Structure 1
Amino acid sequence: MNITLDGKRTLVTGANSGIGESIAMALAESGAKVVINYVSHPEAANNIVEQIKQIGGDAMAIAADVSDPIEVAAMFERIDQAWGGIDILVNNAGIDGVSAMTWESDIDQWQKVVQINLFGAYHCAREALRRMVPNQSGVIVNMTSVHEEIAWSGYSAYTASKAALAMLTKTMAQEAAPHSIRVLSVGPGAIQTPINQSVWSDPDSMKDLLEKIPLNRIGQTEDVAKMVVVLVSHIASYVTGRTIFIDGGMTDYPNFSHGG
């Protein structure tokens, strides 16, 4: 079964590295036009644009801090000018923040995580829906995490923001469904990226991690990207308002495989 997204106008936030980069490339390989959003390392974003153009695709890089509604609005205006609107939004931009127990956490650092992970997705979805609703068409995919369900000591802002984003997804899906718009979440588990290199490059840390994953392997960014392509395509046209976990079974709590 072939998936074609020919001509679909797509924005992927935080797309100049890691999971976002893989999603952008996978969408482009399926025929979509892709905006590579970034806040730093413009050379990386421009390199992805060139890679997409080399395979015959259409792409552009736009700098915008998703936690700033003014910058987000300006980004969408640029997309309007270039492509006349948007068909697919992937809210991928996010950070996990500084590890600290809640009672020791810095308020500004805590708020920064929520501003990017939750408010950033809201700002982008709000602008996207303002364009999708009149067209009675569109798909939004929010990047949550297994930590919308699994607690993670030291990262209360991250877990709170991801759990809140999951409920925001459900609510927006309910609101947008009468307009033929789908809103979903994708919840990655342990995915091998440069950000978590300290874990997968250390044998002891890797051994501990694999004990939490029933499929006994760390995920690759392509595992997430391929699922996103499926979810935004016609193949998933009857799927909305839910989180699809891409976690190798991590949310199945493998520690209980031998009983409680």
Structure 2
Amino acid sequence: MRSLDATALVVAKAPIAGFAKTRLTPPFSPREAAQLAAAALLDTLAAVRHSGLRHRVVAWTGDLDLAEHAAELAAALAEFTLVPQRGDTFGQRLAHAHHDAAELGAPVLQIGMDTPQAGPAVLAAGAARLLDSGDTVLGPATDGGWWALGLTEPAPARVLTEVPMSTGSTGAQTRAALREFGCRVHRLPTLSDVDTVEDAVAVAAEYHGRFPHTFARLHPKRLADSGSALSAAEPAPHG
């Protein structure tokens, strides 16, 4: 795969029971939700490692020692530069993370830990567009948010402090704010991020990895007799 002089920035929280993926509880227990979060994060870190992006940063919050699969995560994170998340709001933490990652001197492609199906090729394509065109890149999410933001320099990230996060219009408002700032915005493929159990079903059906395996192991335990239609769910579109 092409070597890309860009920085992959993963914004992540420690997969601790009661701290990560709490919207999956119920039907999953807090620890099971954290196990799913750990699986998604491990898949995401693996995708970044194989994407060809030259620099790798994780903006981290939470106590790794308390996380599910702490030893495996520590080994994976050893290949990344870790910076602490800073700020009172999620938008502030994102903006600060962009500035911290930009100190490596390369354009930054930021993702979260809840689109593990965004494999190496998807990340490489986003970074290549960022490098080759100089455009800002934004990946819409199916819930109206966004899953990826690529910037050639960190100044536009300040708009994230003004955009309401975790709403059905966050993606559209982010795009509008970036354009108002003067960015030319290129749209990346639309992906589902894992916020709800329905999201987890869709994402688990999209690819082969740690997260689908973990979901398949936990699904019968908690969902087989739930009366939901999850087992018949259709895979979400991949862009």
Give the TM bin, normalised by the shorter chain.
0.3 to 0.5
Q: Which structure has the larger Rg over C-alpha atoms?
A: 1
Higher relative contact order (CA 8 A, sep 6+): 2
Given the two structures, how large is their TM-score scaled by the length of structure 2?
A: 0.47
